[in-house]
Amino acid sequence: LKTTKNHLRHVDSMSTLPSRAGKITGLNAVILGEALASEEDDLVFPNDEFVRQALVPSPKKYLEMYKRSIEDPAGFWSDVASQFYWKRRWAESVVSENFDVRNGSVKIEWFKGGITNICYNCLDRNVESGNADKIAIYWEPNEPGSQDSLTYSQLLQRVCQLANYLKDKGVRKGDAIVIYLPMLMELPIAMLACARIGAVHSVVFAGFSADSLAQRIVDCKPKVVITCNAVKRGSKVIPLKDIVDASLIESAKNGVSVDVCLTYENESAMKRESTKWQVGRDVWWQDVVPKYPTTCEVEWVDAEDPLFLLYTSGSTGKPKGVLHTTGGYMVYTATTFKYAFDYKPSDIYWCTADCGWITGHSYVTYGPMLNGATVVIFEGAPNYPDPGRSWDIVDKFKVTIFYTAPTLVRSLMRDGDEYVTRYSRKSLRVLGSVGEPINPSAWRWFFNVVGDSRCPISDTWWQTETGGFMITPLPGAWPQKPGSATFPFFGVQPVIVDEKGAEIEGECSGYLCVKSSWPGAFRTLYGDHERYETTYFKPFPGYYFSGDGCSRDKDGYYWLTGRVDDVINVSGHRIGTAEVESALVSHPQCAEAAVVGFEHEVKGQGIYAFVTLVDGVPYSEELRKSLILTVRNQIGAFAAPDKIHWAPGLPKTRSGKIMRRILRKIASRQLDELGDTSTLADPSVVEQLIELADR
């Protein structure tokens, strides 16, 4: 039994060694039979009814498809790609890659020479194939009680009007557009309009500060910035246009001026009369866009032409502009969406992520719409007017697939079951989780209380860089283990390596890497291919390095254990410690700062900042607040430190390097596990820090 069970974990190596493939088959009987269920392992089986209708109903089916995707990636992916519209089919080689820095510059190309358009595939293709009147978007505003919606043909018309407007303003293929919008229907409309005309969108999450927005504007020099005047989240009004105004002043100081700021009037949050205005630059969306024709010719692009930029935090330096191209991303997001959520045309799908993050790109906009899905978009906050709002929305739209982040699950769990159980939720059939490891207790609550023990949970591991799901359950295919992202998606070959970069087999822990490219992989960091290689391909030559730690259990299930670099994952948002430190030290009274993550009950990780003040400055509550405010202003509210720890000095080695290991232990109050402090330049620093721990 044991040997048979071990096979799944070898699936990727076996797939490259087809002669051993016969061994896989033994697994099916074992994994679906009683044997595993009666073991200590915490296995949660999908129910029979679900399995019967599942796209991938057994490990056998998965293994067949997975094996083919690894042994014959060109055949596998060109079959998938053929379901889309291509103006011209790609050239002979489906994929061409150099994944190994030792062999020269890293280069990834999929479907090169193929001519297509992702907006056409999301909209026109669905309209033409009988889905014109199907709802594409249900929109739920911040205030309960009303709603809006667009069918696929209405959405196409809206997109065309905006695309025509942008063209009229001189936007051409390859030009950048910055979008700074909350979750209005205009956000996916703007993304799709850019894609339609071959413009490259850079969506900036509307929780980023003016400084962060300016940084992104300066980096890609957009012709147009698209925003709205304000948004209401819960009972708070956030004047987004003021933030854009400030960022445009800042950008101009850095030599980048933007000609057009297209502003949507979000009337329920703020009237246009109260909005500050710069005549000549600022234009009301409602005044111009609806005047344009509702059809717009598509700009046909190469599969490898850029689709969008999305900035993400790394362990050092400024946020990196992750660049995704068109063809591979299209094929990959569509396919991962379909299989990981067991998508059926009758589904109503709601992903709570904001389009300002990758999840909103791949799994609010592109993946679902490529499948012709009905998507729910929610403007507001999940605890407004009370913590039952999510389930109210689920019942209202009869949501069948609900995809969210562990941080929301934990916070709703804390608010109590009554908020959930007072709603029916009987439409739900698949749940999803993303952004950070989901702890087993949150998993169980999500499964038992929200899903009434009926709905499989797709715990999807992936990254901004990967474009789409990499390790994820396929609901119905195999039993789940609460807290494990289970097995790799088609075409993905995860490997776990040790410090030296040697691949480890079987049951083990180490650094999570990927062996060769997949269609949705990012192609470069905008304007900095060298950093692309240094960050992702040089740490373990021959592999893509994810920055995550991971273990694989005896049954081959993958368990993500969090970032192994200096990136903190706060409520599923990646924040570089260096970014927070640099914001803190810009405060005139801060001499030095060191930031680490610590375990946080709701957010997963919180931000813990050790701050050394300029000589002679006394500690005070006021100063604490002002330091936090500095970070909010420079990055955004979501990056505000949870804790400021006064530090007369920081633990450094003799060569001046801060020993974060010790700081992490102090932050988590594991004071008896500080380890060897004798190599510090001044070991007494540690005593002082412990003394000041709760001050």
- Please report, as ranges, the residues that interact with ligand WTA according to CB under 6 A: 312, 357-359, 434-437, 459-464, 485, 546-548, 560, 562-563, 569, 574
Rounded-to-integer distance, Cα 482 and Cα 681, Å: 44
Instruction: Specify whether the CB–CB gap between 403 and 341 falls below 8 A.
Output: yes
Torsion of CA 435, 440, 446, 447, to 10 degrees: 120
Distances (CA, A) of 440 to 117, 405, 430, 543: 41, 14, 18, 30
Give me 353's structure tokens: 């992520």
Nearer to ligand WTA, 114 or 468 (CB): 468
Alpha carbon distances (Å) from 119 to 158, 180, 194: 12, 20, 9
Measured from the CB atom, the residue of 78 and 333 that comes closer to ligand WTA is 333
Taking the C-alpha atoms of residue 123 and residue 281, their distance in angstroms, rounded to an integer, is 31
Residue ranges in 169-239 assigned as alpha helix (H): 186-196, 210-220
Q: Is the Cβ of residue 512 or residue 662 nearer to ligand WTA in the bound state?
A: 512
Contact 600, 641 (CB under 8 A): no
- CB 485 to ligand WTA: min, Å: 5
3-class DSSP state of 402: strand
Angle of helix 152-168 relative to helix 186-196, nearest 10 degrees, comes to 60
Q: How far is the CB of 404 from ligand WTA (least distance, A)?
A: 11
Q: How far is the CB of 430 from ligand WTA (least distance, A)?
A: 15
Q: Are 164 and 401 in contact (CB under 8 A)?
A: no
Which DSSP helix (H) or strand (E) runs through 295? none
Q: Give strand ranges (E) for 564-678.
A: 567-570, 573-576, 590-600, 604-613, 643-646
Residues 6 or more apart whose CB falls under 8 angstroms from that of 676 comprise none
For residue 62, the 8-state DSSP code is H
Angle between helices 621-634 and 577-585 (to 10 degrees): 120
Whether 565 is catalytic is: yes
CB of 574 to ligand WTA, least distance (A): 5
Residues near 156 by Cβ (< 8 Å), separated by ≥ 6?
123, 124, 127
Over the Cα atoms of the chain, what is R_g? 25
Structure tokens at 308: 């969008």
In the complex, the smallest distance separating the C-beta of residue 149 from ligand WTA, rounded to whole angstroms, is 27
Residue listed under structure tokens 């789940």: 480
Calpha distance 568→596 (Å, rounded): 7
| In the complex, least distance from residue 323 CB atom to ligand WTA, rounded to whole angstroms | 14
**Closer CB to ligand WTA, residue 141 or residue 319?**
319
Provide, rounded to whole angstroms, the least separation between the CB of residue 471 and ligand WTA.
Answer: 8
Cβ closest to ligand WTA, residue 548 vs residue 581: 548
Distance of closest approach, residue 157 Cβ to ligand WTA, in angstroms = 31
Residue 157 or 407 having the CB closest to ligand WTA? 407
**Catalytic-role residue among 175, 302, 548, 565:** 565
DSSP state of 482: T
Number of H helices, E strands in the chain: 26, 31
Active site positions, annotated: 565
